[in-house]
Amino acid sequence: MSDSSSLPLPSTAPQARLLDGIRGPDDVQALSAAQLPQLAQEIRDELIAVTAKNGGHIGPNLGVVELTIALHRCFHTPDDQFVFDVAHQGYVHKLLTGRTGDFFRKLRQSGGASGFLYRPESQHDSFGAGHAGTALSAALGMATARDLRGTPEHVVAICGDAAFTCGITLEALNNVVSSTKRLIVILNDNEWSIAKNVGAISGYLNRLSTNPTYNKLHHDVEAFFRSFPAGVEMNRVYMKWKRETKDFFVESSLFEKFGLRYLGPVDGHNIDALVKNLEFAKHCDVPVLVHVLTKKGKGLEAAINFPEKFHGAGPFDPVTGESLKSSLGTPAAYQDVFGRALVRFARADPRIVGITGAMPSGTGLSHLAAELPKQFFDVGIAEEHAVLFAAGMATKGLRPVVAIYSTFLQRAYDQIIHDVALQNLPVTFCMDRAGLSPNDGPTHHGLFDLSYLRCVPNTVVMQPKDED
């Protein structure tokens, strides 16, 4: 990253923003609790100003402002480690770890901050990402290595609700208790993937967050903290709490069945409540999952009203949220040409079905979803499953079209070879975003597809030149 000392210093002291004085967790922790709402507002203003100009993942970041402040109040990076899933929601973390000023204002541009966490950019970025579902696994590896080394740092995985539609997250969850006793998992539940989150786990989380019993537990935790004088040894609180609520935990949430202690749901915009739960989690002697409820797009009305559009947006008017499109008009996007063509084919041939891994609008399958919903399937962020699901359908005479970005199809390489090609099943892959993805960067480049597909038997590889 750029040397933070070279970033512009605050201007005159009286008008200086709190944000301009923040270079890392020490500065966040030096603020009084009363100053934190102002810091949150300044961060939101900066996020909106920069993404309105450069584009970027504005909705996810507006939703995690208070959560990220609370994390930096309770933990001390780079000694402690945060692993953000996808890492598209890491802008606030960047701002709180010295990546402000011109460096942040060039977000997603040459010479500026990456749109994701990126190890070479900062010692506060302990793990890079861009693809979904990697945080829990990587954090578990870090925590296990820490245990082997016998060092005291905390490892915190910050996962969106859609990360729990990923197989890797569930594979990691299956291994948590056999690997470590100390891991903190934040479930940032805003009910949205890029589109509305899908599947049984999303329904389960919804029931969990509205379950009055769990809300009662949350109030119990609050009450415990209120009843103890400041400075009390947290472990004592934990032990008492554990004793008094032990029965309650037996056979309770899904996460407890995997051996994690469940805390929540916590209001993800209440810094005080977040800090209490995180402090509590820090002192637990079992892995903990803190279920945090956040509002995607909080602070920008258009982003709240249109969460899918503002998940990752191009430049927009910061007041109205209107997209700033070229006055010359824009040519039809590849995905819309593809999506409309697929609707025509699918209407004529009911054997044709479209499958997406949580990206109906990005792939253009939203056209199929709107017009022929029975021939449309969104399986969540589950590319391996999407391909195997298609292979199964193809054995029954269907003609599945799997629409996945080039970079994300990498994840399903074994299924392409083992389940589709070797069985010579009629599955069509339509891979959007081939080539460079300059603003998102290396994790999103579609650079390997021709190479990785040309060597697969029984496969025809074609590359469209244009919409015709």
Ligand X SMILES: Cc1ncc(C[n+]2csc(CCOP(=O)(O)OP(=O)(O)O)c2C)c(N)n1
Q: Active-site residue numbers?
A: 296, 383, 411
Decide whether 357 or 400 has the Cβ nearer to ligand X.
357
Candidate residues 46, 66, 80, 85; the one interacting with ligand X per rule CB under 6 A: 85
Strands 428-430 and 81-84 come out as: unpaired
User: Helix (H, G, I), strand (E, B), or coil: what is residue 323?
Assistant: strand
Least distance to ligand X, CB of residue 88, Å: 5
Q: What are the percentages of helix, strand and coil residues in the chain, rounded to 5?
A: 50, 10, 40
Q: Stretches 158-166, 213-221, 223-231, 450-458: which one binds ligand X (CB under 6 A)?
A: 158-166
Q: Find the residue with minimal CB distance to ligand X.
A: 160
Residues 282/74, Cβ–Cβ less than 8 Å: yes
Q: Dmax of the chain from CA atoms?
A: 72
Name the one range near ligand X by CB under 6 A: 47-55, 83-91, 314-322, 422-430.
Answer: 83-91
Q: Which of 154, 296, 298, 385 binds ligand X (CB under 6 A)?
A: 296
Q: How far apart are CA 374 and CA 223, in angstroms?
A: 49
State the DSSP H helix or E strand holding residue 69, giving kind and residue range, or none if neither. Answer: helix 65-74
Burial of 207 from C-beta contacts in 10 A (0-12 / 13-18 / 19+): exposed
Q: Which residues between 299 and 338 bind ligand X (CB under 6 A)?
A: 311
Q: Of the two residues 144 and 443, which places its CB atom closer to ligand X in the complex?
A: 443
Token duo for residue 372: 């022929």
Considering only residues 126 to 155 of the shown chain, the ones binding ligand X according to CB under 6 A are 131-132
Q: Which of 56, 60, 128, 446 binds ligand X (CB under 6 A)?
A: 60
Candidates 89, 97, 180, 277; binder of ligand X (CB under 6 A) is 89
Residues 180-239 binding ligand X (CB under 6 A) are 188, 190, 192-194
Q: Beta strand 81-84 with 155-160: parallel, antiparallel or unpaired?
A: parallel
Among 159, 288, 158, which residue's Cα sits nearest to residue 221?
288
Tokens of 422: 């070797």
Q: Which of 86, 136, 142, 260 touches ligand X (CB under 6 A)? A: 86
To ligand X, the closest distance from the beta carbon of 246 in angstroms equals 32
Contacts of 243 (CB under 8 A, 6+ apart): none
Residue ranges in contact with ligand X by CB under 6 A? 60, 85-86, 88-89, 131-132, 160-163, 188, 190, 192-194, 296, 311, 357-359, 381, 383, 408, 411
